[in-house]
Each structure stands twice: as structure tokens, then as C-alpha cells.
Structure 1
Amino acid sequence: MAICPVCNSLKVLEINCPNCGTLLENDGKVADFLDPYSHYEDEETVKMGDGYPNTAKDQICPHLMVCHNCGYDKVVFIKEE
């Protein structure tokens, strides 16, 4: 079973905001915003309802990156290892 290196603190995302240059903050997995109990569920079950059709098949983990300076946000797909 593959794991997300960002969720498991094996890697850190460092992406600058294209609007203001501030370092984007990783606000976590997108699925955590869809359901308050999703982090208690099996990962494969969560991926079936996260709104991205290929997360389970392609073994990717969508993370929400946010600029708390200007409000820019973007979803980044992390390849699980």
C-alpha cells in the first residue's frame, strides 16, 4: 500500500504564491474539508468520494495549498510512494 510522503511528514512542500510570492501553507488533504470524519475512514473509501476520479487508481493525494497573505489557493497532487 502506498503512502503520501507529505501526510506522513517524509517530505515538505515549498511552493511560493504566484500572486504575492509568500510561501503557500499546506492546509491538508482536500478530503478532510469534505467530511469532518473522513480522517477516521479507510483511505481508499475516502478517495472514492473526494471529487477527483483518479486519486485511487493513480495513487495520488490532493493537498490544499493556501496563501494566508492574499487568499490564493490551489490543489496540489502528491504522488504516493
Structure 2
Amino acid sequence: MYVCPACNGLQKVIKNCSDCEEHLTDQGKLVDYLDEYSPYLDDEGLKLVDGDPQSTENHVCVHLLRCPKCGTETHVKVSEQSN
């Protein structure tokens, strides 16, 4: 079984905004924003539609990061760890 260290509070995603250099805030898994039921569905199944066709095979969790200053959004791949 693999777990995302960012989702489980074991690691912080640290990245600065490409537009204004402000520290981006981690908004969580990208798949949680697909629709209103996404947070309640199976993670492995949702990874098939997260925009990265290799995320299940490569054990990565795609996170949405947003700039609190200018609103810029970006995606970051976090490597999952075996449990």
C-alpha cells in the first residue's frame, strides 16, 4: 500500500509562485476538486482522471497549489511512499 506524505502530514509541499514569488499554499489532492463527491471516492480510481496517466503506476499524488497573493494555481506531483 502506498500513501501520500503530503496528504498525511508527513511532508510539506514547498514551492514559490512563478508570477510573484509568494509561497504557494497546498490545497490538497487535485482529484478532490473534480466534483462534489470526489473526496469520498476511491483514490486509485480517481487517479485515472487526474491529468497524469502514469500517476497510479508511478505512485504519485498530484496536488493543487495556489498563490494567496495573486491566485496563480499549479500542480505538483508528490511521490507516494510504501507503507
TM superposition score normalised by structure 2 = 0.89
**Letter of the 2:2 counterpart:** A
Structure-1 residue corresponding to 2:54 = 54
Deviations 1:15-73 (A, max 9, x none): 11122121101111110111211121111111122232111111000001111211211
**Unaligned segments of structure 2, at least 5 residues:** none
Q: Is residue 36 from structure 1 mapped to residue 28 from structure 2 by the alignment?
A: no
Q: In structure 2, how many angstroms separate the alpha carbons of the residues matched to 1:58 and 1:38?
A: 21
Give the superposed CA RMSD: 1.1
Runs of 4+ in structure 1 off by over 2 angstroms are: none
- The share of aligned pairs that are identical, in percent, is 40
Q: In structure 2, how many angstroms separate the alpha carbons of the residues matched to 1:22 and 1:50?
A: 26
Q: How many residues align structurally? A: 81
TM superposition score normalised by structure 1 = 0.91
Structure-2 residue corresponding to 1:20 = 20
